[in-house]
Structure 1
């Protein structure tokens, strides 16, 4: 009987493996991935079947369908009008078309460099909220900064402000229950963005990596920072922590409200309070770029590809994880061929060793294409910033890796404005001045086993 049960179990695993392999062939986005999954599922289903349930899907099911009938196309703004695309934004028309929303004109912007400056402005703005606070971060920690944010939210709720908070259930996996329960007891509406519900119950590989704060529908913040002491540079060995955030005032705030509302609707089933975004006398044009695994196409990768193709003189970008896919790397190669000054700033210290090893190999191969690579020296650089020519910059949560391209919900603000681009240029010049140039010896002089480890790490690019 026991032998028969074992035999039946093996047969069942192989039958399920064949069925899963058929699913992989039909739905995996790349031929290489389809072949890898199919072979593993057919020949070693008892090893690969469970990982495939968690890691095999690149589609986040039901997210858009569940909301389209319940949410308007965008949050209200003060004018009720949709401004036409500014002529200077024309070369980014493809990005606007993919997003299904136009550039908006009339924004006031503030570049927020590093955690102390960014949180000083954000916390001050939150403390001034009179009606509504929408807050979303990938990570909340129950530490000094986390408790400071917690106390502020409780004070605002006590003052009659509607406070809605989202955090990623995996990114904030070590957030203690009492932190959330204290906020709920004080009237704060707070929820984890749990991707594994209903049809997505096995899809634990997805993350909501967005960082959004909206104050009374009038001021919004996006960037790379999360709520934790390490983002203030208080936790070695990665300290000092280099990051960038930004503040927006103007009509694009309504787009960020709508983006938050979609995530909130998915979790709670009800819309959050949305307020009109008042008119603003600024001059900058902005497009909110959102991406995620619920998209019909790989929006984040397409965003980087289109933005890189738009560069004519300069393309500077900084990312903590340099794991470009084929289309983005090809776009960088073509930019070099056009004579564009292409520079990429990456960390000199790892926060995730597998990603760091893969990034080192990608950096070595990028050097062969004429891409200039730099490693930031003072501490860990976590910022996600893009500078194009002398008039365009992007600040947000998008990393240059497959996880951001395909598995994470992300957001970035694409800005067309010479003054703001000049501020970003000055910031990045200071960063590059604190970096060392990467040369091929970093790879060639590495011990053989370390080079092998780099190539093994690159095999996991689709998951990094």
Structure 2
């Protein structure tokens, strides 16, 4: 058979496989936009789309979905039997979130805003050093660098003193983590595992990553937010340095929900449950709802979380996100907030860590400005924090980005806090950040070169997988 005949046969075969893959995408992709994009691309251009579909498009993890929903049902029943005695008046505008999350607003929370990596990890290491019974640690990224080795040593020391230590990391987020790092922890008595939605490893599955960042010490002190374990999060790696990020420390009964989130993931990976220590009463003033979201939820929980939060704003909605790729529901909610007279501001980075996402974000920012939303770019370094400030009494710190990965593809967690004192702390932080930012104008897009504008529009075509 001649070379032209072989190439023709190969092309026919690729198109046939592409059509089969397109049928699979149409049947299994979560959104109509994604189904249309994958179906069209796989049918017409299988040479370019088959390989990305293997990594990004396959979505079967039914075992995890089934287990997850069983756990959520049990947690909902436990909440109904236990402490949920109605929603406090100050939290009623978030009642839809309580129902959707099968959760509750826990009273009496003590909150500490940790405004950068140095403050966050100093607090985390201090809590770990005082652990007496159990430590739960979950991060999307672990690096074997200065901070990573400091975390490793801290956990080994507590394990050597008889504290039970459990660690989860994401297999894709921590793909560069050497096996020796993990084995050193395991040999030192630390229970450590990589998270995956399929119990049998699948190197082609890049979607459905566990993006949560959770630390719980003795069932009493909890941490969550945007930081991972790596030197860049301390601002030690140019060109993105200094790194701007935010974490939250909380003490009180809401920490039990952090334990439950960790326990669901740990049980899926290992078939076992970590210790579930009873919650303690705190003497703080905050009401806190722990919002746990992911692609196993029956609804698009993360996108709905943002939509409800935005719709709750009456006077002010300030939010920061490294990636501004909103879906139609979230963008419509932002526009409606502007029409209600709400002061809507969005803080973005001025430097890209992912160029395609940055290009798409720039075009979305231009559209947002046309809708009356004030957009800012943080100047000193890369801005990675995920924080929302609503009116004068509500603030959220989370791992949730404003993009489709967080909305529909990643496992995320956040804390929605109703408390005027904490909201004032977040307001001061935002004002300082805005003082180090420049407001984006229409000229950012209008004066861009034609090829850069074209790149923005091409990048936006990939919104469903950004």
What band does the TM-score fall into relative to the shorter chain?
Answer: over 0.9
Is 2:84 the partner of 1:117?
Answer: no
Aligned-partner Cα distance in 2 for 1:195–1:229 = 28
Change (3 A) 1:311 1:43: same
SS in 2 for 1:393: strand
Offset of residue 296 of structure 1: 1.5
Deviation string 1:113-164 (CA, Å, 9 cap, x unpaired) is: 1011111111000111110000001111111111111001000000101100
Alignment of 1:176-325 (within 5 A): 176-198=178-200, 202-325=204-327
Q: Distance in 2 between matches of 1:224 and 1:382?
A: 7
Separation in structure 2 between the aligned mates of residue 150 and residue 361 of structure 1, nearest angstrom: 41
Instruction: For 2:381 and 2:458, locate their aligned partners in 1 and report how far apart those are by CA, in whole Å.
Output: 26
1:60-209 matches, within 5 Å, as 60-66=61-67, 72-73=74-75, 81-198=83-200, 202-209=204-211
Stretch deviating more after TM superposition (17-26 or 178-187): 17-26
1:376–1:38 Cα change, 3 Å:
same
Q: Does the CA contact (< 8 Å) of 1:323 and 1:461 recur in 2?
A: yes
Does the 8 A contact of 1:290 with 1:410 survive in 2? Answer: yes
Instruction: Name the Cα RMSD after superposition.
Output: 2.2
8 A contact 1:195–1:201 mirrored in 2: no
1:300-323 Cα distance to aligned partner (Å, 9 max, x none): 111001100110000000011111
**Unaligned 5+ runs, structure 1:** none
Counterpart of 1:20? 21
C-alpha distance in structure 1 between counterparts of 2:198 and 2:249, whole Å: 32
C-alpha distance after superposition, 1:229-277 (max 9, x if no partner): 1111111111111111011111111111000011111111111111111
Question: Is the 2:318–2:389 contact (alpha carbons within 8 Å) kept by the matching residues of 1?
Answer: yes
- Provide the C-alpha distance between the structure 1 equivalents of 2:226 and 2:295, rounded to a whole number of angstroms: 19
Give the 3 Å change call, closer, same or farther, for CA 357–5 of structure 1 in structure 2: closer
Q: Distance in 1 between matches of 2:385 and 2:104?
A: 26
Relative to structure 1, is the Cα distance of residues 68 and 358 closer, same or farther in structure 2, using a 3 angstrom cutoff? closer
Q: For residue 394 of structure 2, what is the aligned residue in structure 1?
A: 392
TM-aligned CA deviation for residue 8 of structure 1: 6.5
Change over 3 Å in CA distance of 1:74–1:142 after alignment to 2: farther
CA distance in 1, matches of 2:155, 2:290: 26
Q: SS at 1:424's partner residue?
A: helix
In structure 2, the partner of 1:38 is 39
TM-score (norm 2): 0.94
Alpha-carbon distance in structure 2 between the residues aligned to 1:364 and 1:68: 39
1:226 to 1:236, Cα distance in 2 relative to 1, 3 A? same
3-state DSSP of counterpart to 2:448: coil
The 8 Å contact of residues 68 and 296 in structure 2, kept in 1 or not, is answered as no
Contact 1:223 1:396 in 2 (8 A): yes
Contact 1:346 1:375 in 2 (8 A): yes
Cα distance in 2 between the residues matched to 1:70 and 1:101: 13
User: Measured at CA, do residues 67 and 95 of structure 1 come closer, stay the same or move farther in structure 2, by a change above 3 Å?
Assistant: closer
Q: Which residue of structure 2 lines up, in the alignment, with residue 425 of structure 1?
A: 427
Count how many residue pairs are aligned between Structure 1 and Structure 2: 463
- State whether residues 338 and 344 of structure 2, in contact with CA within 8 Å, keep that contact through their aligned partners in structure 1: yes
The structure-2 alpha-carbon separation of the partners of 1:153 and 1:219, relative to structure 1 and needing over 3 Å to count, comes to same
Task: Report the Cα offset of residue 67 of structure 1.
Answer: 5.3
Cα pair 1:75 1:257 within 8 Å, conserved: no
Q: Is the 8 A contact 1:58 1:407 kept in 2?
A: no
TM-score w.r.t. the length of structure 1 is 0.94
Return 41-50 or 425-434, whichever deviates more: 41-50
* Conserved? CA contact 1:293–1:408, under 8 Å: yes
* Alignment partners' CA distance in 2, 1:231 and 1:416: 28
Give the 3-state SS of the residue equivalent to 1:241 in structure 2: coil
1:251 aligned counterpart, secondary structure: coil
